[in-house]
Amino acid sequence: MVSLAPWRSSLSHALHRNRKPFARYFQLATIGMDGIPANRTVVFRGFVDGTNQIKIITDSRSQKYDQIRTRSHGEICWYFTDTREQFRIAGKLILVDKDTPTDDDFKLLRDRTWQDLSESARLQFIWPNPGKKRNPNDDFTVDPPNPNQPVDNFCLLILNPLKVDHLQLRGNPQNRYLYECDEFNNWSVVEVNP
């Protein structure tokens, strides 16, 4: 088992103290094909068990999927309103999709993540193509997909953090810590000015 990064306890603490559903939304930035940043809100789906890796789900028909396939760097920006702290978590994104080999552990995790979704969340994956021009004939009243078998365009997205910038607004002065992971998977932390 990988030892948990030192920022994990601060993040778990923030999640515990900000228990509203919207505390599980954060922004995920990726790099567009043109080199321009692209940013959107997504839902935190938990950590990969016993690791620092963050789970997100998405649709392989979305823009971010192609962006990540081309450039895997991404950054999460997560603000917790109750405790007034921000985590910026940068790292590499891994796409776990229908083409991920079946003997890859993440493939099983993709199946389980699909099975754990609500029916309304699963339905969105069989809606007409996201981001395409709306057509009045498009059918959004489709039958629910198989709850056991992910549809082809269901993608599990995993962020493998390499840098974390934790800013706490509470306190005077505020507190800010920069965490960094080296090539041997060891984390270091430096306290910096806010």
Ligand X SMILES: Cc1cc2nc3c(=O)[nH]c(=O)nc-3n(C[C@H](O)[C@H](O)[C@H](O)COP(=O)(O)O)c2cc1C
- What are the residues binding ligand X (CB under 6 A)? 25, 38, 40-43, 56-59, 62-64, 130-131
Say how many C-beta atoms besides its own lie within 10 A of residue 95's C-beta. 18
* Sign of the Cα pseudo-torsion (131, 137, 140, 144, in order): negative
Give ∠ CA 165-166-168 in degrees, rounded to 5.
Answer: 145
Nearer to ligand X, 86 or 168 (CB): 86
What phi and psi, each to the nearest 5 degrees, are found at residue 120?
-65, -35
The answer for residues whose C-beta is within 8 angstroms of residue 128's C-beta and 6 or more apart is 135, 138, 139, 140
Burial of 7 per CB tally in 10 Å (0-12, 13-18, 19+): buried
- 131: helix, coil or strand? coil
Question: Cβ distance 43 to 58 under 8 Å?
Answer: no
Question: Cβ distance 70 to 33 under 8 Å?
Answer: yes
Nearer to ligand X, 54 or 187 (CB): 54
Nearer to ligand X, 16 or 69 (CB): 69
Cβ at position 152, least distance to ligand X in Å: 16
Nearer to ligand X, 28 or 162 (CB): 28
Cβ at position 172, least distance to ligand X in Å: 32
Cβ at position 91, least distance to ligand X in Å: 17
Cβ at position 194, least distance to ligand X in Å: 28
Nearer to ligand X, 41 or 172 (CB): 41
Cβ at position 6, least distance to ligand X in Å: 27
